[in-house]
Amino acid sequence: MRRSPDSNSNWKPHRTPDGKPTSEIYECKIVVRALRELYGDTSVAEFGPLALKAARQKWVNEKRSRTECNRRVGMVKRIFKWAASEELAPQSVYHALATVTGLKMGRTVAHETDPIGPVEESVVDAILPFLNRHVRGLFEFQRLTGCRPGGACSIRRCDIETSGAIGMYTPPYHKATRPRISVGRLRATRPTPFHRPHRTGRTGDLRGPAVRPIRSPR
């Protein structure tokens, strides 16, 4: 699609409170790439609901799941909403795209995804002996808290309260509120062996000589 010359300079990706871009920027690039392949020579003002449905059908043909197709369509709508707010696209285009409804379960050939279940404890126990203590600590932290890998890699020692018998982890930022998460009894969890030497270092940062003594022993 043809766009305004200064559109890139006005656009700013979503960022976390510490200033880092979120993963949504990569999702946006995937969606925009597909639109440009189909409508690279089409004016933004001429992009309408039928064009959006055609892009959605392209993703259905690529065997994307129903929820993934709906998520990408929603992202296209948000892109045009932002463009309309910056006067880079007519507001009528966004309002027209907003009329496109999502694919309904049982009414489309797009397949459904299976629910993501927990990993069996026996599988985790079998893997732990082959991990160094840094990665093993991340596994144990996920097991105790139920957090995602990204959340485990971002923890810092200064975010874990160690004054009591039960360790409490408070994320530096959260998409909703800042919860306080129990990490179990400190003697049992022993969080220090798998942390970086300094209190503000993130456990997922494996670069630099400071972490080498932590990476090598098993």
The per-residue pLDDT for range 133-183, each reduced to its tens digit, is 778 888 888 887 777 787 777 777 777 777 777 777 777 665 556 566 776
How far apart CA 139 and CA 157 sit, in angstroms, is 16
Quick check: 192 and 157 in contact, CB under 8 A? yes
Query: Domain total for the chain?
Result: 2
How far apart CA 51 and CA 77 sit, in angstroms, is 12
In the sheet that 160-161 helps form, which strands lie side by side, from edge to edge?
160-161, 166-169, 181-185
Does a structural domain hold residue 103?
no
For residue 54 the two structure tokens come to 């055609």
Q: Are residues 74 and 125 in the same domain?
A: no
Cα–Cα distances in Å, from 29 out to 14, 33, 35, 46, 181?
A: 13, 6, 10, 21, 34
Q: Are residues 170 and 91 in the same domain?
A: no
Q: By C-alpha distance, which of 53, 32, 48 is closest to 96?
A: 48
For residue 157 the two structure tokens come to 């020692």
Q: Are residues 90 and 125 in the same domain?
A: no
Q: What is the percent of the chain with per-residue pLDDT over 90, rounded to a whole number?
A: 38
How far apart CA 169 and CA 60 sit, in angstroms, is 41
Does a structural domain hold residue 44?
yes
Q: Are residues 127 and 82 in the same domain?
A: no
Q: Are residues 59 and 127 in the same domain?
A: no
Would you say the C-alpha torsion 22, 178, 117, 104 has a positive or negative sign?
Answer: negative
Quick check: 50 and 91 in contact, CB under 8 A? no
Q: Give 199-218 pLDDT, tens digit per residue.
A: 555 555 544 443 444 444 44
Domain end among 97, 131, 157: 97
DSSP-derived letter for residue 93 is: H
Q: How far is CA 50 from the centre of its chain?
A: 29
Read off the pLDDT band of 91 (50, 70, 90).
very high
> What range does the domain containing 149 cover?
121-205
How far apart CA 216 and CA 218 sit, in angstroms, is 7
Please, which contacts does 67-74 make with residues 24 or more away whose CB atoms are closer than 8 Å?
Answer: 67/112, 67/113, 68/113, 69/103, 69/110, 70/102, 70/103, 72/27, 72/30, 72/31, 72/34, 73/100, 73/102, 74/102
How far apart CA 123 and CA 56 sit, in angstroms, is 38
Mean local confidence (pLDDT), 16-42? 82
Higher pLDDT, 175 or 77: 77
Q: Are residues 142 and 78 in the same domain?
A: no
